[in-house]
Each structure stands twice: as structure tokens, then as C-alpha cells.
Amino acid sequence: MAHLHLDSWIQYTWEILGTVWLIGLAFTKRNVSPGTGSGFSILLQRVVFVLGFFLVASDLFQRGWLGTAFLAETYAMQATGFFLTVLGCLFAIWARLALGANWSGTANVKQGHQLIVKGPYRLTRHPIYTGILVACVGTALGIGQWRCLAGLIVISLGLVLKMSQEERLMMATFPEGYPQYRRRVKALIPGIL
């Protein structure tokens, strides 16, 4: 019974993250640039992320081989996975709050856009992505099904593509400040990557 309890709490953690994102949409600045990428690439990114998040955080893909276990289910593994999921989601929420009205679902420049280098942005250039990836790893460990690993891979690919677009946009938008920031702060893992 404890296993089902932690599975539910892992899912609730993702739902909280999604709720914060939806609420945050109401508080973003207006775009002043068309952003990077074509309409097709933006649509593709959204489809990739939705698919990835459904694989990781929903019960829709529990049937068939995607719902089978890739690792032995133990309470210790579920507890570790739950802890990492919560830690990752909290880090992503902290980063989202620090970014504030500058946040965008696509790589765009906002009206009065600022280069944010405080809070979790002191640790990594893309702390939302760091948090999401940590949460995905945690969910994969906590739930232990192939669907979670598949979702982690799908989300990782989407984040790599989006991150490269954002890096180019920030270099163009902040040609003096961003290269210095980029030399000082790693992209995803503090001091490493």
C-alpha cells in the first residue's frame, strides 16, 4: 500500500508544478520579438514536451511494455525517487519565480526583458531545465516503469533543442552581458556542464 501512496505523491508533485506554470502564464510580459524557430519547430517542441510529460507523469501509458518495470520496486527506491521529484520540481518553481515576467514557453524576448542572474540563475543558466530533469530522474526511479525513462529521453531531447535556441537568442539580446555570464555559470549542472 505504501508504494501506491508514493506513486500518487509523485504525480501530485507534477500537478503542482503544472499549476504553478499555468498561473504564471497570466503574469508574463508581452513579446517584442517573434522569437527563434519557425511555427513548425515551436509546434514540434510543444508536442515533444507534452508527450514527454505524459510519459513521465501520467497513467496514460501504463499499459503494454511502457508500463512494465525496468527496476525492482522497493520502498527505498520510491522514497528516493519521490525526494528527487520534489527537489527537482521545487528547483524549477524557484527558477520560474526568479525569472518572473520574463518567462516564455518559447525562445522570445519580452518587453523590458532583463538578464536574470540571481537566485537559481547564479547556479545554472537553465535552472528550470535542471529542475525538470532532476524531477524526471526522480520519477523514473520512484515509479520504475519504462514509460518514465522514455519520457526522460523525450524531454531531454526537447530541452536540448530549446536550450540551444535560447542560448542564441540571449547572445543576440545581451551581447556584452550574456557571454560573461555564460563563462561564469554552467548550463545545467553547477561547475560541471
Domain edges within the chain: 2-18+36-184
Q: Note the pLDDT tens digit of each residue in 74-90.
A: 899 999 999 999 999 99
Indicate the helix (H) or strand (E) that contains 140.
helix 127-143
CATH number, domain 2-18+36-184? 1.20.120.1630
pLDDT at 4 over 60: no
Distance in angstroms (rounded) separating the CA atoms of residues 180 and 139: 35
Maximum Cα–Cα distance across the chain: 56
Helix (H, G, I), strand (E, B) or coil at 114: coil
Mention every residue, 6+ apart, whose C-beta is less than 8 A from residue 156.
133, 136
Question: In the prediction, which pLDDT does 115 show?
Answer: 95
When pLDDT is averaged across residues 61-70 and rounded to a whole number, the result is 87
User: All 3 cell numbers of residue 180?
Assistant: 560573461
